[in-house]
């Protein structure tokens, strides 16, 4: 669930900001570039009174930020932007709500649609509120803070239903209440960029809206308090850094009992930098690891390669205090409270019996696999990232769960016979239920295998629970499941990222006959 493969580039100046560096090619040394004529170029006369003066191509000013006019918002798009029309094109206006009359400025003009942003609000909606974060106007982290939290949930639910009906041709029989557990202080992981100014100052923060620049922040509304407390001391440490422009990103992670800092650096840190970092770790009671040159491996402050663990606990009925250990760079859900409710809801929808066998596909470190194991005869988790499979096995062994099997395999390249063999499925050992928790690309290939299972009467899972972080791919995959003989019984929104346009959801598919 959610985006497991998000990567940010780095800049020679540090941070995740991309500068406008030199282009490839260039001109021979000592020769000026010769402009090339292109179709549609406009030329003007050079004012110099010389004969045979080369004509100069007129510079076209960029249209970005041009005022587009006044609009009344008809509806919201799937990502919460206001929708209007301009010159036969659909106009998406960031920051506008249904029924509002606004003026807009251009962000980007595409072939079939136009991206814009609110300039002035002439008449406002009752669902509008003052953004609670002081950085909202610049920071690109949260997109919907101008919309009341209850209205955000309604928008996400409507957008999900609309995409499923429009692109998948499906309508759920039952609609679950959205899982939403607070809209501030929920995020247990964040990655910040570092930018070094020419005057020697350092910026620590998130990318700006409509830009690769970094917004400096002192606190983040959606970060858990323990991670917010690290921002000021880390900024002080960066400003005193002796290894010039060495650190490019900082990742903050909160586990069940520990908080951790991961620093990506492209140069060797000075001894004084490391000593100050050790002092910071002691003062703030946090763990600190280094990621040299962004190669993916971690070291401690002494430069020794390490393989650390953090943990999180699933508590409540049916979990019996399950604590899962994870590497700080593993994919884990950033909203632990919603994650706990999400796992509980998945178990309820699966409605497992002690004799059932279950397939958990895209299983990660076992966030669903290990709780499922407490309720069935056997569960097989399959995941492409081998290191996370190892973590799943470690967790199963530590928790003395013997009926959970973890397999490393690329689900995208797997045939239905390979999947059937890896899952240990046959007519005598049938798979009763399947849980799918794919990345944003969805699970098209796996559902094609399920189609072949059902068509060949090899296997026919009685319940399929699909956890989605992308309504578009859920809609596509829902249509494929309908073709395989299932219908969408139950659907619910998971508000994993309040104040953002990200829509997480959970769907239950049952056999149509």
Residue 294: what pLDDT?
Answer: 66
What span, in angstroms and rounded, lies between the C-alpha atoms of 136 and 77?
20
Residue 40: what pLDDT?
Answer: 43
225, 102: one domain? no
User: Coil, strand, or helix at residue 238?
Assistant: helix
Given 139, 142, 220, 469, the catalytic residue? 469
- CATH number, domain at 396? 3.40.50.150
Contact 166, 482 (CB under 8 A): no
176, 198: one domain? no
> Can 133 be counted among the known catalytic residues?
no
What span, in angstroms and rounded, lies between the C-alpha atoms of 326 and 349?
26
215, 163: one domain? no
Contact 362, 383 (CB under 8 A): yes
463, 379: one domain? yes
| Cα 279 from chain centre | 33
- Which of 257, 288, 303 is the endpoint of a domain? 303
User: Coil, strand, or helix at residue 453?
Assistant: helix
Q: Which of 116, 95, 112 is nearest to 104 (CA)?
A: 116
Residue 458 lies in a domain: yes
What span, in angstroms and rounded, lies between the C-alpha atoms of 127 and 104?
19
Find the DSSP H helices in 8-148.
none
| Cα 147 from chain centre | 21
User: Coil, strand, or helix at residue 303?
Assistant: coil
Residue 193 lies in a domain: yes
387, 465: one domain? yes
What span, in angstroms and rounded, lies between the C-alpha atoms of 298 and 264?
9
- Which of 266, 283, 303 is the endpoint of a domain? 303
265, 391: one domain? no
497, 360: one domain? yes
Residue 167: what pLDDT?
Answer: 94
Residue 31 lies in a domain: no
Find the DSSP H helices in 240-330.
271-284
What span, in angstroms and rounded, lies between the C-alpha atoms of 466 and 492?
11
Residue 215 lies in a domain: yes
Q: Which of 323, 272, 269, 321 is nearest to 300 (CA)?
A: 269
- CATH number, domain at 81? 2.40.50.140
Lookup: tokens for 197: 């100014």
How many structural domains does the chain have? 3
What is the domain extent for residue 80?
Answer: 59-128
Contact 428, 420 (CB under 8 A): no
What span, in angstroms and rounded, lies between the C-alpha atoms of 491 and 157?
10
Each residue's pLDDT tens digit, 243-252: 989 999 999 9
Residue 95 lies in a domain: yes
Q: How many other β-carbons are positioned within 10 Å of the β-carbon of residue 78?
A: 17
Residue 225 lies in a domain: yes
406, 340: one domain? yes
Residue 26 lies in a domain: no
432, 477: one domain? yes
Residue 309 lies in a domain: no
Contact 468, 507 (CB under 8 A): yes
The pair phi, psi for residue 341, each rounded to 5°, is -70, -35
β pairing state of 378-383 and 357-361? parallel
- CATH number, domain at 193? 2.40.50.1070
427, 362: one domain? yes
Residue 200: what pLDDT?
Answer: 87
241, 290: one domain? yes
110, 223: one domain? no
| Cα 145 from chain centre | 18
What span, in angstroms and rounded, lies between the C-alpha atoms of 373 and 466?
18
Could you say which residues of the chain have pLDDT below 50? 2-3, 5-61
């Amino acid at each position: 669930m959610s985006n497991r493969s998000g990567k940010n580039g780095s800049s020679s100046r540090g941070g995740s900001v991309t500068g406008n560096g030199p282009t490839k090619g260039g001109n021979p040394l000592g020769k000026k570039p010769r402009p090339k004529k292109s179709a549609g170029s406009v030329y003007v006369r050079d004012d110099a009174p010389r004969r045979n003066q080369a004509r100069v191509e007129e510079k076209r000013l960029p249209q970005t930020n041009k005022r587009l006019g006044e609009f009344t918002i008809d509806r919201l798009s799937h990502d919460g932007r206001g929708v209007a029309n301009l010159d036969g094109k659909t106009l998406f206006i960031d920051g506008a709500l249904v029924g509002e009359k606004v003026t807009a400025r251009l962000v980007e003009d595409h072939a079939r649609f136009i991206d814009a942003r609110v300039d002035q609000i002439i008449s406002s909606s009752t669902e509008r509120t003052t953004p609670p974060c002081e950085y909202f106007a610049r920071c690109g982290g949260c997109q919907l803070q101008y919309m009341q939290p209850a209205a955000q949930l309604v928008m996400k639910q409507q957008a999900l239903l609309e995409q499923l009906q429009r692109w998948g041709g499906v309508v759920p029989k039952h609609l679950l209440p959205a899982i939403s557990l607070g809209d501030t202080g929920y995020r247990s992981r964040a990655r910040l960029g570092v930018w070094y100014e020419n005057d020697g100052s350092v910026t620590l923060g998130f990318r700006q809206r409509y830009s690769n620049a970094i917004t400096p922040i002192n606190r983040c509304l959606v970060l858990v308090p323990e991670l917010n407390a690290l921002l000021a001391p880390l900024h002080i440490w960066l400003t005193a850094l002796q290894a010039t422009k060495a650190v490019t990103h900082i990742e903050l992670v909160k586990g069940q009992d520990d908080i951790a800092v991961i620093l990506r650096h492209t140069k060797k840190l000075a001894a004084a930098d490391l000593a100050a970092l050790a002092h910071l770790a002691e003062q703030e009671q946090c763990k600190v690891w280094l990621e040299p040159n962004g190669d993916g491996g971690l070291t401690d402050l002494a430069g020794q390669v390490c393989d650390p663990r953090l943990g999180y606990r699933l508590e409540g009925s049916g979990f019996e205090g399950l604590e899962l250990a994870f590497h700080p760079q593993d994919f884990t859900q950033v909203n632990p409270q919603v994650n706990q409710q999400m796992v509980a809801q998945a178990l309820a929808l699966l409605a497992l019996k002690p004799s059932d066998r279950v397939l958990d596909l895209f299983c990660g470190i076992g966030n669903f696999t290990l709780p499922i194991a407490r309720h069935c005869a056997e569960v097989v988790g399959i995941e492409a990232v081998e290191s996370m499979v190892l973590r799943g096995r470690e967790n199963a062994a530590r928790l003395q769960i013997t009926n959970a099997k973890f397999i490393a395999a690329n689900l995208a390249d797997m045939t239905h016979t390979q999947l059937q063999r890896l899952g240990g499925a046959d007519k005598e050992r049938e798979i009763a239920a399947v849980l799918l928790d794919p990345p944003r690309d969805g699970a098209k290939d796996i559902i094609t295998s399920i189609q072949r299972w059902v068509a060949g009467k090899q296997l026919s899972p009685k319940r399929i629970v699909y956890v989605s972080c992308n309504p578009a791919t859920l809609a596509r995959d829902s249509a494929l499941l309908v073709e395989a003989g299932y219908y969408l019984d139950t659907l619910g929104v998971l508000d994993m990222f309040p104040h953002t346009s990200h829509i997480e959801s959970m769907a239950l598919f049952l056999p149509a006959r």
